[in-house]
Structure 1
Amino acid sequence: MRIGILNSGGDCPGLNAVIHGVVGAATELGWEVIGFRDGFEGLLPNGPGHIKLDVDRTVGILKLGGTILGTTNKGNFAAKIGVDNVALVPVEIMDQAKATIKYLGIEALIIVGGDGSLTTALQLCNEGVPAVGVPKTIDNDLQATAMTFGFDSAVATVVDALDRLHTTADSHQRVMVVEVMGRHAGWIALWGGIGGGADIVLLPEIKFNIDNVARQVNHLYATGHRSVLIVVAEGAELEDGSLMTREQMDAERRQVKLGGIGEYVGRKVEQLTGKETRDVRLGHLQRGGSPTPLDRILGTRFGVKAVNLIREKKFGRMVSYQSYHVGDVSIEEAVNQLRLVQPDSEVVQAARSVGISFGDR
């Protein structure tokens, strides 16, 4: 049997672990694996092409960040427009992809991506291509799975940054504002903030007021703090409900590029408190580097499960992690269902109990 695999959308630590799991499990079954380069673009006749993946080709990739296959969030295939608004792949592009799959004798396709990529996977399934999905988003915001690989590595990057910033902030008695990823969901900011000892965490799900933030900063200095650490997710809303953006709508991705909320918060805090403030935007540092042990293990388990779904002919399904068990759910049920931080959740209450402010009171 010959199967295919591709990565689509943004990269993150753990993608190579998935490839490692797929190749290992497929080899045990005597199957051949073809990897398509640069996401869905590798399915097109004039695209970047494909490579044969075997144990010799994938030895040692478990510890590597990024993906040896490459990926893209641009090009000819559908991109997610909004939370619910999705564009379909044009018929002629889909026909070219199906022709490539047929020509190469691919009997099933593993698609590793977020809900935009998995929506494309669902369209392929509906047009007769046997496909299974593996969820990939460092934002950890897919409702159908309790955790996605790459999230733990992103949190580790945030925690390391906060550890480093805390020492320099203490030395100069400064406020440090760290902007992290999180368009709709604030999981990276929340977990990174707790793990890194942040004083204030600002999330998309909890409406903050800058006056409350400034008041908390003054309170912390008045009670003996030499510095204050603030973590803010890029998707945290301003007081008027708007988002900070660095660029307008991207013509290909049709999605606004967020950024600048950290700079805004830092500037306002300095104006309102008089405390010297610096802001840092971690950006793609959160996507890079080697995956943590947890992400290596989770990615490997996801890859093995994807192969098992093909073996069981459970197409149109997505790998899912719930209660320490790797199972599967329907792709159709999984896409467009965001898992957001609940303001009254146990983890938020735990953060409040150790003195973390969310700027809402």
Structure 2
Amino acid sequence: MSLASTCPVVRRIGILTGGGDCPGLNAVIRAVATDALTCGIEVVGIEDGWLGLIENRLRPIVDRDLYGILDEGGTILGSNNKSNPFKFVVGKKADGTPRHADVSEQCLKHLRDAGVNAMVVIGGDGTLTSAAYFAKRGVYVVGVPKTIDNDIVGSEITFGFQTAVATATDSCDRVRTTADSHHRAMVVEVMGRNAGWIALHAGVASGADVILLPEIPFSLKSVYEKVKERNARGKRSSLLVVSEGAKPAGGEQIVARVDPTSPDPIRLGGIGKWLSDKIEDEAGVEARYCVLGHIQRGGTPVAADRVLSTLL
């Protein structure tokens, strides 16, 4: 039996973007859809991640939808990071906690009704975990790793990461000038969750004086001493780049809030303010903090991310 005879006939594919948005998503959509349409395969866009599949919001993608999106940030399909088809929030229990249900069969029906037997799923850990479950249910799935955090196992680099680093680096450069003007220590908090890649690269690129990563619990005493030492030598400022998941030795990560409706309920954040306050109290140096937040996810992808997204 030839290999061709054992391969599925794919005439219509679905494309989905899930999880947090990321520079380069539209470039991936463009590359996948362009190749598929060139091969005579119809393309269906699934809106707002898994939520769109749950709610049967599927629409055709044609050539004109792809024009001019290579350099656009965000995703033309929309995204969602709260809708796990295998644990979907359908209401609340008597105690007020979320009530979940498995609605994956509903999703499979929507795919069958649309004539879609293969999917290209662009997402991070949570989105691709759900995609793997659908693959076990008979859907042909291609997963495209996506995250600015650059923390997906088996991927040397993920698209969006280099844009996030460029944005964070530019922000650090700007923060440094105002820190110099006022003789301050400036703490810049960047994204990354439990991975310190953005903090490391942006910190090195901006010449940060202190870089704090989730992977290496830090000594508060060492941070204080570094800031005081620079101040004593007449340095006009100190720049500290800290990942949102960093923590002091013997301490815990700072949680900004918990979202019980999300598959990933823990929202890290607050280390920047906490560290800034500590520096003022313990090192006696005026300090400020800056949380870059979602600015790292937005905007035009840099050339390297456009190329990587297209080649995927």
Q: TM-score, normalised by structure 2?
A: 0.90
Aligned residues: 290
Q: 1:68 aligns with which of 51, 76, 80?
A: 76
Please say if residues 48 and 78 of structure 2, whose CA atoms lie closer than 8 Å, have aligned partners that are also in contact.
yes
Which entry has the higher C-alpha Rg, 1 or 2? 2
Please say if residues 86 and 104 of structure 2, whose CA atoms lie closer than 8 Å, have aligned partners that are also in contact.
no
Paired letter, 1:282: L
Post-superposition CA distance 1:186-243 (Å, at most 9, x none)? 0000001011111100000111011110101111222332110000001012333311
**Cross-structure match for 1:28:** 38
C-alpha change, 1:142 and 1:75, in structure 2 (3 Å) is closer
Distance in 1 separating the partners of 2:50 and 2:258: 25
Post-superposition CA distance 1:12-64 (Å, at most 9, x none)? 110000001011111221211110000011212x34x1221122111000110
**Cross-structure match for 2:200:** 190
Deviation at 1:274, TM superposition (A): 1.3
**Cross-structure match for 1:145:** 155
Post-superposition CA distance 1:277-314 (Å, at most 9, x none)? 01000011111111111111111111xxxxxxxxxxxx
Please say if residues 84 and 130 of structure 2, whose CA atoms lie closer than 8 Å, have aligned partners that are also in contact.
no
Deviation at 1:115, TM superposition (A): 1.3
Does residue 1:130 correspond to 2:140, yes or no?
yes
Alignment of 1:1-361 (within 5 A): 1-44=11-54, 46-47=55-56, 49-78=57-86, 90-91=101-102, 93-302=103-312
Please say if residues 255 and 268 of structure 2, whose CA atoms lie closer than 8 Å, have aligned partners that are also in contact.
yes
Please say if residues 250 and 257 of structure 1, whose CA atoms lie closer than 8 Å, have aligned partners that are also in contact.
no
Distance in 2 separating the partners of 1:72 and 1:159: 27
C-alpha change, 1:287 and 1:78, in structure 2 (3 Å) is farther
| SS at 1:30 equivalent | coil
Cα RMSD between the aligned structures? 1.5
Which residues of structure 2 form unaligned runs of 5+? 1-10, 88-99
Distance in 2 separating the partners of 1:187 and 1:77: 30
Paired letter, 1:77: P
| SS at 2:278 equivalent | helix
Post-superposition CA distance 1:164-206 (Å, at most 9, x none)? 1111111111110000011111000000101111110000011
| SS at 1:123 equivalent | helix
| SS at 1:193 equivalent | helix
Please say if residues 192 and 243 of structure 2, whose CA atoms lie closer than 8 Å, have aligned partners that are also in contact.
yes
C-alpha change, 1:249 and 1:23, in structure 2 (3 Å) is closer
Paired letter, 2:198: I
Distance in 2 separating the partners of 1:249 and 1:238: 24
Paired letter, 2:60: K
**Cross-structure match for 2:7:** none
Post-superposition CA distance 1:237-264 (Å, at most 9, x none)? 2333311112135333352111100001
Distance in 1 separating the partners of 2:59 and 2:248: 46
Distance in 1 separating the partners of 2:46 and 2:168: 32
Paired letter, 2:65: R
Q: Identity of counterpart residues, as a percentage?
A: 47
Q: TM-score, normalised by structure 1?
A: 0.78
Please say if residues 85 and 107 of structure 2, whose CA atoms lie closer than 8 Å, have aligned partners that are also in contact.
no
Deviation at 1:112, TM superposition (A): 0.5
Deviation at 1:75, TM superposition (A): 2.6
Distance in 2 separating the partners of 1:201 and 1:190: 7
Distance in 2 separating the partners of 1:223 and 1:190: 25
Distance in 2 separating the partners of 1:253 and 1:28: 37
Distance in 2 separating the partners of 1:228 and 1:61: 40
Distance in 2 separating the partners of 1:226 and 1:254: 41
Greater relative CO, 1 or 2 (CA 8 Å, sep 6+): 1
**Cross-structure match for 1:309:** none
Which residues of structure 1 form unaligned runs of 5+? 80-88, 303-361
